[in-house]
Structure 1
Amino acid sequence: MKQQNHFQRLGLSEQTEAGPVKLAYFRLAKQYHPDTLPQGAPPELEKLKAEIFAYIGDAYRTLTDDKSRANYLEELKSGGAGNEVDVQSILMAEELFQKSCILVKARKFPEAVKMLDEAIKLNAEEAEFYAWRGYARFFTAADKKAAQPEAFREIQNAIKRNERCAPAHYFLGVIAKLCGDATSALKHFKRTVELQPDHIDAMREIRMATQKK
């Protein structure tokens, strides 16, 4: 994989559009995600799976974002495309990100923000990191109304980096709902499901909003 380009890593041709890229990524992610290892698996196998997962994740992020994809195709044409990936930094950032998600779900928001700060230092290109940090920062604030604009700015930054970042749209929906803007919240939840049809939380929010009407 070290010698392959992003398309090759996902088993795709350079003409492949964003939709099949997403399908290829999810298929490979199910196979190579470090969490799929059984308990007691050798550390060498865990490291190998983590490296492969980092490669396919980098390929997915690049090829599903229109701007990044166009730039990458230009690099391929010129023969200078980036196989030079700092895998170690990506792996460390991904590990910090996974831990921060657990902290957010445990409502340990300040700790999550610090961990996401470190993840972004290691891999500043990952849109999802900014989405989760903006969301966590919102919940660290005592005054949620006052915190909303800054949280929105950071999550919108994630969307600018990758418009198809489903968690970012979902987080915008949650924050809008908590701040009393049900119309915007519903719009964001619907966009989340458009991007990720199996997003259970967004589907539940849409169902609840529909029942209230």
Structure 2
Amino acid sequence: MEETFSLEHMPFPLLIKDILDARFSGILFLSHDEVKKGLIFKEGLLCAIQSNRTEELLGNILVALEIIGKEENEQSLAQARRERSKQGIILLEMGLVQPKQITQALRRQMETRFLDLFTWESGTIQQVEKPSITKEPELSRHDYFQLIRKGIMDLVPFSLVIDSLSSFAESRPNILAEQIPADLGIDTESLYEYTVSELLLLGQDPARALLALYCTGVASFQESKHKNLIDGLRSKLKQLKGQDPFDTLGVDRKISEGGLKRAYIRIVKEHHPDTYAYADDPEVKRLANDIFMEIQRAYNTVVKTIEGKQADEPSGIDETLQAELLYGKAMEHLKTKEYQKALDMLRLCVKMRPEERLFMESYARAMFLRFQNAGIGSPLEIKSSIRDGLQRFPQSDTLYVIWGWVLKKEGSKKAPEVFQKAYEINKNNVDAQRELRLYQIRENR
């Protein structure tokens, strides 16, 4: 059985966990830009790994280990190619290395090729099941798990750590082993005392440690109460990725402008992120936003196709549709941390539809993220925008949360009061819940 999917939807650490849990036997083919790798697994454990990266060739590994020099590497590699032999055999025949050194270098080569994959944020994966794998794993289970933990602790981009843990945001981890591995390099005794969202606020190391333990079977989480919804949204997103945009909107290529507008309004109402506002789960929100952005992309493409115009400038569309379109693009820019572009579009959304609370909240959130992550703007500017928003939407718990974040960043003692106000408006606001719990934890210490 073959399956093809993307690392953007299945981060490499979670992919490795799935392979372990399923005791998968077969081959994974991974590609990213020009780099291609093939991994062979038997019952979930790594047996071998091939790579076309030059720096991961055996000779270059031996040079890095200072066992041979660069000139010896080039000579042996050239001879291996002429004789269609393996470089390791040629090096042994030339008397430049000992068998133990080859074994050492092969081990380092496998580790290097494997650890590199933890840095990948995108790429395609082809998974081919082959139950008849006869090759035995090169690493013991203990050493393999240690290598996985090293990759997560040292190499995985933190954004992927957040994505990997986001579906368990309000869960507390269950530690399944009597003794936690000591190779994580941090104190892990209190990991189980916090929810995942709280750990993410404590810094990178605790979150990385938790993901490392989860991916190697030492920790587990209670399933989200919205698991069925999350599974459905993931399935929908997977369906939309790469789908013909006309199929996404459910229209044919002869659709009229009015028909396109009606189809778009229908699908926006069905899949707008606000539809899932009842689900207090960050993963639901993330998936809903991703689905909405796919719909926006499809709409852009259809408009461009049937009108022969740039999708950024759709004509004949009323302001409601334009605002929805701009909002989707703004969310894309926000996701890629292009804060100014997102703010410019959200400002237009607010101007076009001042009665839309979501636009005002998103605008304030983007201002805060720009200040927090890029150092652009000021707390005064953000608070002024929030006050304007609260005049229009006095019951916006989201605006109160953002206000609380600004006060917290300023070190103001009034922040808990503002988070409490958000919680009183909406007791299901997970951000307000988390902030209040963190303050409570600090007070109890």
TM normalised by structure 2 equals 0.29
The number of aligned residues is: 147
Secondary structure (helix, strand or coil) at the match of 1:193 reads: helix
Equivalent residue for 2:429, pick from 192, 199, 207:
199
Establish whether residue 113 from structure 1 lines up as the match of residue 330 from structure 2. Answer: no
For the structure 1 residues 114 and 198, does the alpha-carbon distance in structure 2 shift closer, same or farther, using more than 3 Å as the test?
same
- Cα drift, residue 154 of structure 1: 0.7
Deviation at 1:157, TM superposition (A): 0.7
CA contact (8 A) 1:159 1:168 kept: yes
CA deviations over 1:164-194 (Å, ceiling 9, x no partner): 112211110111111111x322122222222
Matched, 1:94 2:324: yes
Gap regions ≥5 residues in structure 2: 1-228, 241-246, 252-259, 275-316
1:177 maps to 2:408: yes
Whether contact under 8 Å (1:128, 1:168) holds in the other structure is no
1:19-168 matches, cutoff 5 A = 39=240, 40-41=247-248, 42-43=250-251, 46-50=263-267, 52=269, 88-141=318-371, 147-168=378-399
Q: C-alpha distance in 2, partners of 1:156/1:162?
A: 10
| CA shift in 2, pair 1:203/1:110, >3 Å | same
1:131 Cα deviation (Å)? Answer: 3.4
State the AA in 2 paired with 1:153: S
What amino acid sits opposite 1:211 in the alignment?
I
Change (3 A) 1:199 1:156: same
Specify the SS of the correspondent of 2:325. helix
Cα distance change, pair 98–187 in 1 and its aligned pair in 2 (3 A): farther
- Correspondence for 2:441: 211
Are the counterparts in 2 of residues 132 and 168 from structure 1 also a CA contact under 8 Å? Answer: no
Q: Counterpart amino acid of 1:210?
A: Q
Give % identity.
Answer: 21
1:51-80 per-position Cα deviation (integer Å, ceiling 9, x unaligned): 6569xx8xxxxxxxxxxxxxxxxxxxxxxx
Q: Read off the aligned partner of 1:164 and give its amino acid letter.
A: Q
Structure 1 contact 103–109 (Cα < 8 Å) conserved? yes
Q: Distance in 1 between matches of 2:406 and 2:336?
A: 18
Residues 209, 106 of structure 1: alpha-carbon distance in 2 compared, 3 angstrom cutoff: farther
Q: Runs of 5+ in structure 1 lacking a partner?
A: 1-29, 58-86
Structure-2 change in CA distance of 1:94 and 1:197 (3 Å): farther
Aligned letter for 1:203? Q
Structure having the higher helix fraction is 1
Deviations 1:33-64 (A, max 9, x none): xx97963541468514246569xx8xxxxxxx
CA distance in 2 between counterparts of 1:90 and 1:147 reads 31
Higher relative contact order (CA 8 A, sep 6+): 1
CA separation in 1, counterparts of 2:409 and 2:321?
34
User: Is this contact kept in 2: 1:96–1:116, CA < 8 A?
Assistant: yes
